């Protein structure tokens, strides 16, 4: 079975500050890892994904994440927060054997203050 743990249901940063959203996963097989963003009353938008290859993955809107197998982590970062980054962020893992079935973390609400 797979699971995802996102530390912190809420993260608050000031505009221009570093954004760090933490994600740890549990998987018995090599995982695919994803970060999604959700704005209020909307569906999910893919920020970035890791499948194989380079462990540092760059996504949209200046976000990036690094897959660290030894730490079973896939933390999301952005060097400088923007007000428009305020949203809910979900980390997800998929089981390569079950193709694209996703298991989501509980989500982290990013709050950005001026």
Stretch that binds another protein, among 11-19, 34-42, 56-64, 67-75 (CB under 8 A): 34-42
Cα angle, residue 56 at apex, residues 11 and 63 outer, rounded to 5°: 40
Minimum distance between the CB of residue 56 and another protein, rounded to whole angstroms? 19
Q: Which of 3, 12, 96, 113 binds another protein (CB under 8 A)?
A: 96
Q: Which of 53, 54, 97, 99 binds another protein (CB under 8 A)?
A: 99
Residue 107 engages another protein in binding (rule: CB under 8 A): yes
What DSSP state is assigned to residue 80?
S
Counted residue by residue, the chain has a size of 114
Find the binding residues for another protein in span 36-75 (CB under 8 A). Answer: 36, 41-46, 49, 51
3-state helix, strand, coil in the chain (%, to 5): 10, 55, 35
**Edge-to-edge strand order for the sheet containing 56-58?**
3-7, 19-26, 73-78, 64-68, 56-58
Minimum distance between the CB of residue 87 and another protein, rounded to whole angstroms? 13
Hey, what are 35's tokens? 């970060």
The footprint of another protein (CB under 8 A) covers 32, 36, 41-46, 49, 51, 90, 94, 96, 99-107
């Amino acid at each position: 079975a797979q699971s995802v743990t996102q530390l912190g249901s809420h993260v608050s940063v000031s505009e221009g500050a570093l954004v760090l959203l933490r994600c740890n996963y549990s998987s018995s097989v090599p995982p695919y890892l994803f970060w999604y963003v959700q704005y209020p009353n909307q569906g999910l938008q893919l920020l970035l994904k890791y499948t194989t290859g380079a462990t540092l993955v760059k996504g949209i809107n200046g976000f990036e994440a690094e897959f660290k197998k030894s730490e079973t982590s896939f933390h999301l970062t952005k060097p400088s927060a923007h007000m428009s980054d305020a949203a809910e962020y979900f980390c997800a893992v998929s089981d390569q054997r079950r193709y694209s079935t996703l298991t989501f973390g509980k989500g982290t609400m990013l709050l950005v203050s001026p």
